[in-house]
Amino acid sequence: MAVTLIMINSFAQLKYPVTKKVDQTDNYFGTLVADPYRWLENDNSDETKAWVKEENAVTNAYLNQIPFREGFKKRIETVSNYAKYSSPQKKGEWFYFYKNDGLQNQSVLYRQKGLEGTPEIVIDPNKLSPDGTTRLIGFVLNKNGHYAAWGISKGGSDWQTYFIRDMQTGKDLADEIDWVKVSGIAWQGDGFYYSRYPPTEKGKELSTKNENHQVWFHVVGTNQIDDKLIFEDKSNPQHFNTVGTSDDERFVYLSISDRGKGFDGNALWYLDNKSVDKIFKPIVKEAGKYLYNVIDNVGDRIFIETNDGAQNSKLIAVDAGKTDAKYWKTIIPEKAEPLQGVGSVGGKLFVTYLKDVTSRIYVYDYSGKQTGEVKLPALGNAGGFGGEKEDAFTFYTFSTFNFPPTIYKYDVASGKSTVFQKPQLSFDPADYTVDQVFYESSDKTKIPMFIVAKKGMQKNGKNPTILYGYGGFNISSTPAFSASLIPWLDQGGIYAVANLRGGSEYGEKWHEAGMKLKKQNVFDDFIAAGEYLIAQKYTSHNYLALRGGSNGGLLVGAVINQRPDLAKVAIPQVGVMDMLRFQKFTIGWNWIADYGSSDKADEFKALYAYSPLHNIKAGVQYPATLITTADHDDRVVPAHSFKYAATLQEKNAGKNPTLIRIDTNSGHGASNTAKNIETTADIYSFILYNMGVTPKF
């Protein structure tokens, strides 16, 4: 282990900015709840901006005096500096793909004629803003590849603006489509469907509650003010309304979700362009608890992935004109493992299942007969398998913690995979090990966990360890490669990922076990993971750090309230910290389906019991805590972290620092490569510094 112990200096005796309190109390079903830092919710006020500036000054001064901070940054840059490619997407004679030369802030979109052609730049988002924080977030070609709709987001915001490019001339048209959010681009003929919100008040774009999601149709070469409104439902302003079209452009699919009312599923309507009336008709009339995701169609037959009557999901076929559920036909029945997704290419269906958090891919024909299996090189995560029905081959990407993303070309007829693109690294991934263990949570439920370390790691209780978790929204924490993890592992660090309930690792039952009134299971699973790592001598309290982002930031905040003794360091990132008011900002109401709402008495009681903001106790010594957020996070607004930081600074006892790192021109995730590297280096440095460990570079 390349570490030595150091004494943490007296800088831990920090002087935080004085955060004023206001007299604000809310009554929830007879329970009075104080909210003295409510004023920090106004992200545009001069007072809030001044507070942010003062907090960042304290945080930057602390981080600047860590002697190895710059060493971590340089090392992360070194190991990350290799060419990264996306799988090619075929359109006619062209193959489109993304490439990052190594440390470019944004990946560049290229195309080439044939697999042996000379690449040419289509869009370089690095040239769209001086600081490289404008991202290319969508590029969708129409059926013949003549036009492309391409979208950008600025500074990490979820708001999107779309433009139209003539791919024959390489020139953009005058079209500009604004206020797009939670949307796909669905081409039909000379135009496309998209979803947007009405414009918000100037200056409040990043915090205003988003309501009345609308579907519009834009014709190429026209002004947005001339777009046709296709669908809206003002009586249900918290619906998501999105549209897709079939590859043959015969069908238009309208998906309607009602998560603001606590439903996890969606309604599904369709319009048949071959019909006389050309109006939307229901396959599933109203949103409820089940999901319906259109995969493909063959003539009149529409193939849909659903968990209706199948907790682990199945594939069904619905005939246009006979959409009543009694006519539905199961094509691929539910299995013991959860179905993660279905791709279609070359006249085949590629069905991905998750077995103990690793991918299994099987090939089926459209009658539901299994015709093969895609053999993967190791236990890990694979994705791709898309294209046209007439394509003879497709691409997929495979990776795991110690296997960098490698692109494979898959021949549909023979079922053979060959390496198409393999990254050239400055280190050997074989120097690192990945183990999967299963530990018991407080109720004896077996929870899987991945443990990543450098070969030769000794179980001596002194390995600096980052325990990462998420546990929510039916999202799996699958094995993924990250070069920025290598410097941590090289310094004797361990990285552990716990597959907590609330995710989709074992299907809908796993998800439901961590939702709403059962959310405490997620925290118990995470606490048990930390206790397992300590009991098995991977690490100990003094060398354990807890990390999570978004819903995972909530996780870390809740766990250190319940078990402040568990870990030495806590890194809650862009967390949902105020569980009583999250639904009042941007699309926070969308999370009611997973969390519940403080507007309901029983759900308020559960939320109040674990809300990170409301369960900080005075006089408790909390772990050294680095809270991270960003000024353009309009998904989990930074007010969550602002109020949480002010409260923790007020009540925390002892010498452990409580700092908040507020990035600029960044959003729910880092808006460019440089910011991501800087944030990672700061987190590693903060963790080791507070563990009393100095790395050697």
DSSP secondary structure letters along 172-187: EEEEEEEEE-S---EE
User: Does the annotation mark 257 as catalytic?
Assistant: no
CA–CA distance, 621 with 623 (Å, rounded to integer): 7
Is 136 in contact with 150 (CB distance < 8 Å)?
yes
Rg (CA), the chain: 25
Q: In sequence order, which residues have a C-beta less than 8 Å from that of residue 272 and are 6 or more positions away?
A: 250, 251, 278, 281, 320, 321
Is 270 in contact with 251 (CB distance < 8 Å)?
yes
Helix, strand, or coil here: 467? Answer: strand
- The DSSP letter of residue 327 is G
| Tokens 């060419």, located at residue | 83
CA–CA distance, 512 with 519 (Å, rounded to integer): 9
CA–CA distance, 214 with 237 (Å, rounded to integer): 9
| Tokens 């440089």, located at residue | 674
Is 135 in contact with 158 (CB distance < 8 Å)?
no
- What tokens were used for 503? 């995710």
Cβ burial of 522 (10 Å; 0-12, 13-18, 19+) is buried
CA–CA distance, 373 with 378 (Å, rounded to integer): 14
Return the closest-CA partner of residue 85 out of 110, 64, 63: 110
Buried/exposed 202-229: b ≥16 CB within 10 Å, e otherwise: eeebbbbebbebbbbbbebebeeeebee
| Beta bridge partner(s), residue 281 | 270
- What tokens were used for 459? 């179980």
CA–CA distance, 514 with 606 (Å, rounded to integer): 12
- Listed in sequence order, the DSSP H helices in 65-125 are 69-80
CA–CA distance, 283 with 265 (Å, rounded to integer): 14
Q: In sequence order, which residues have a C-beta less than 8 Å from that of residue 373 and are 6 or more positions away?
A: 360, 361, 362, 363
User: Does the annotation mark 213 as catalytic?
Assistant: no
The active-site residue, picked from 246, 666, 668, 671, is 668
| Beta bridge partner(s), residue 241 | 256
CA–CA distance, 562 with 615 (Å, rounded to integer): 8
- What tokens were used for 294? 């259109």
Maximum alpha-carbon separation in the chain: 79
Is 466 in contact with 552 (CB distance < 8 Å)?
no
Return the closest-CA partner of residue 555 out of 565, 568, 570: 570
The CA dihedral of 73, 74, 79, 85, to the nearest 10 degrees, is 80
* Alpha carbon distance, N-terminus to C-terminus of the chain: 12
Helix, strand, or coil here: 590? Answer: helix
Q: What are the φ/ψ torsions at residue 2 (nearest 5 degrees)?
A: -90, 60
| Tokens 């490289």, located at residue | 132
Return the closest-CA partner of residue 143 out of 88, 189, 89, 95: 189
The active-site residue, picked from 344, 399, 550, 666, is 550
Which residues form the catalytic set?
550, 668
